[in-house]
Amino acid sequence: MKSKGIRISDKKNNIVSVELPDILREITDGNSLCWSILYLYATGDLGKNQSIPALEEQIKNSERGLFISWNELNSLTRKFWDLMDITIVGCKDKSLLGRYANDVKMRETCDIVIEMIDSGYWEVFSKNEALINRLAKQYKEVEFLVSESE
């Protein structure tokens, strides 16, 4: 099944107004997927004895990203103050989680791909067209995307 994509660029005062918890809220089957954070560049407060730079480094040095449960992912996203870049993938099959040679392969393999790009906009690709349609109804500055084939 091909992935459908959407770019969300809603802004207030030139800053993207859509936050990661807003996007995650629209995912109805999050618990049925395995999740990995493949890239992170952010500021925030993770709590005692934890730092964002250490988390970023851990993710960067991991072979297949940081595996994280749906509940942990939702909890973590509320600790960010500013999210410049993030790549999160969700797959029904945990063995598919990992780093991909290119974005096309990642979008076609994973059930959901969520990316914040340069603090400028969100891109969400999903095999669940209903999710993309819910996001499209939720926001104003949206553009449908097609994952380029090889």
Cα–Cα distance measured from residue 103 to residue 14, given in angstroms and rounded to the nearest whole number: 27
The whole-number average pLDDT for the span 93-118 is 96
The pLDDT of residue 150 = 45
> Tens of pLDDT along 14-69?
889 999 999 999 999 999 999 999 999 999 999 999 999 999 999 999 999 999 99
CA distance 74 to 140: 24
pLDDT on residue 149: 58
What is residue 2's predicted lDDT score, i.e. its pLDDT?
Answer: 85
CB atoms closer than 10 angstroms to residue 98: 17
| pTM reported for the whole predicted model | 0.95
Please name the residues in contact with 96: beta carbons below 8 A apart, sequence gap of 6 or more: 109, 110
